[in-house]
Amino acid sequence: MYPESPLIVTFAAGTSGAWFIDSVETVAGAGLPWAPRLAVIEGGAPTPPSLWRLAGTTSNLRYTMAAERAAMGAVTEGLGRAAATRAALIPITKSPAWWAMAQDERRAVFEEQSRHIRIGMEAMPAVARRLHHCRDLGGEFDFLTWFEFAPEHEPAFDRMLASLRATPEWRYVLRETDIRLTRADA
Amino acid sequence: MYPESPLIVTFAAGTSGAWFIDSVETVAGAGLPWAPRLAVIEGGAPTPPSLWRLAGTTSNLRYTMAAERAAMGAVTEGLGRAAATRAALIPITKSPAWWAMAQDERRAVFEEQSRHIRIGMEAMPAVARRLHHCRDLGGEFDFLTWFEFAPEHEPAFDRMLASLRATPEWRYVLRETDIRLTRADA
């Protein structure tokens, strides 16, 4: 599900890039300005001039257990599917209280209380997903999650987001922006 | 035990810095060259000219459970104690097989099989410790662990290292260097 080595990915919002930015909605905390396009640059290649840029890295699993990974693997689709012409970029920052918890405390909120993995799986395989971590990079967000799906699956994606935002885990979300995009060649 | 926000720390080996480098021992994999001194620079301040430099960030707990954190907290000492004139910097890289495991699989090797936390606690409070993560930063190591202790506690520190290196967890260690230091003002 993840490459063996962390992959750095930069999301640069400006006037170039493979994705049109359809909307930028502030869900919580400080927002981000809209720009016409978003470039998704992998591996630290140069980024075009941009209004804002956010960078994160793929990493090892932090909460997912082996049985959950196996269940997810059976329904996981990769990025870049021809039919997946819609995308969402959702940057999130969690609170100091979240990060101060021990591993078992965070896991309990994440899955036993919030069923984060189970809710996410309900939108799979229609929705493909890649998580990027940026807290340890000193970024202004903790996570950047990128989702890709066909236009007809956007309602399922929206239902998944609504379910997640109603969980105990989301009480720890201080900042969240919901950016929707359409592939420029679609 | 950890600051609320990740702290970036750079270890720069050259001719300046608060620590004399007594020895650089290659335990596994490619080594690092010796230099006279090591500077420990916190928060991204400029680093002096150096033969090599390694950077990592403090972060949230990855395996420690709440009860373990409480037990450790009771015997944890901070860095910078006057009597702690000796130090060790131990950079480690783990294998792709380690990183490919799910969270519960890594935790099982780390503590249930290897008793990493329990072994570490046997050297506390004599040995103070700070862990820095660098895999997601694209560094050449995955972890940089910094230890401080008084000279008379170096045997206890060595026993702790020998115990850890004999664990199942250490089968996943591809590269390890053991750098010993003495505070220049000691």
Q: Are the Cβ atoms of B66 and A135 closer than 8 angstroms?
A: no
Q: How far apart are CA B153 and CA A126, in angstroms?
A: 58
- CA of B143 to nearest chain A CA: how many angstroms apart? 13
Would you say residue A103 has pLDDT above 60?
A: yes
Burial class (CB in 10 A: 0-12, 13-18, 19+), A51: middle
Q: Are the Cβ atoms of B4 and A69 closer than 8 angstroms?
A: no
Is cis: bond before B125, omega within 30 of 0? yes
Q: Are the Cβ atoms of B4 and A65 closer than 8 angstroms?
A: no
Would you say residue B2 has pLDDT above 50?
A: no
Q: Which residues pair with B56 in a beta bridge?
A: B9
Look at residues B4, B47, B1, B9 and name the one whose alpha carbon lies nearest to residue B132.
B9
Would you say residue A186 has pLDDT above 90?
A: no
Q: Are the Cβ atoms of B64 and A101 closer than 8 angstroms?
A: no
Best A117, A131, A136, A174 member to test B by mutation, with max B CBs in 10 Å, is A136
CB B159 within 8 A of CB B100: no
Give the pTM: 0.93
Q: How far apart are CA A12 and CA A132, in angstroms?
A: 14
ipTM given for this complex? 0.91
Burial class (CB in 10 A: 0-12, 13-18, 19+), A112: exposed
Beta strands in chain B (DSSP E): 8-14, 19-28, 37-42, 50-57, 86-94, 128-133, 143-149, 173-183
Minimum Cα–Cα distance from A57: chain B residue: B136
pLDDT digits (tens, 9 = 90+) for B25-83: 999 999 999 999 999 999 989 988 999 999 999 999 999 999 999 999 999 999 999 99
Mean pLDDT value of segment A21-47? 96
Q: How far apart are CA A104 and CA A63, in angstroms?
A: 9
Task: Tell me the pLDDT of chain B averaged across its residues.
Answer: 95
Radius of gyration of chain A (CA): 16
β-strand A8-14 against A37-42: which pairing, if any? antiparallel
Reduced to 3 states (helix: H, G, I; strand: E, B; else coil), residue A68 is helix
Q: Are the Cβ atoms of A136 and B57 closer than 8 angstroms?
A: yes
Q: Are the Cβ atoms of B135 and A62 closer than 8 angstroms?
A: no
Q: How far apart are CA A121 and CA A124, in angstroms?
A: 5
Q: How far apart are CA B158 and CA B152, in angstroms?
A: 11
- If one compares A4 and A184, the residue with the highest pLDDT of the two is A184
Question: Which pair of tokens denotes residue B76?
Answer: 């944890």
Would you say residue A92 has pLDDT above 90?
A: yes
Q: Going by C-beta distance under 8 Å and a sequence separation of 6 or more, which residues neighbour residue B48? A: B12, B14, B15, B16, B17, B39
Q: Going by C-beta distance under 8 Å and a sequence separation of 6 or more, which residues neighbour residue A169? A: A109, A110, A113, A114, A116
pLDDT digits (tens, 9 = 90+) for A38-51: 999 999 899 889 99
Residues of A with CB under 8 A from a CB of B: 4, 6, 8, 44, 57, 59-66, 68-69, 96, 99-107, 133, 135-138
Q: How far apart are CA B100 and CA A90, in angstroms?
A: 25
Mean pLDDT value of segment B151-157? 98
pLDDT of residue A4: 67
Mean pLDDT value of segment A111-118? 96
Report the alpha-carbon angle B127-B132-B138, nearest 5. 155
Band (pLDDT 50/70/90 cuts) for residue A2 is very low
- CA of B36 to nearest chain A CA: how many angstroms apart? 30
Question: Which pair of tokens denotes residue B178?
Answer: 């053991």
Question: Which pair of tokens denotes residue A38?
Answer: 């978003």
Mean pLDDT value of segment A147-166? 98
CB A157 within 8 A of CB A150: no
Q: How far is CA A133 from the centre of its chain?
A: 9
Q: Are the Cβ atoms of B138 and A63 closer than 8 angstroms?
A: no
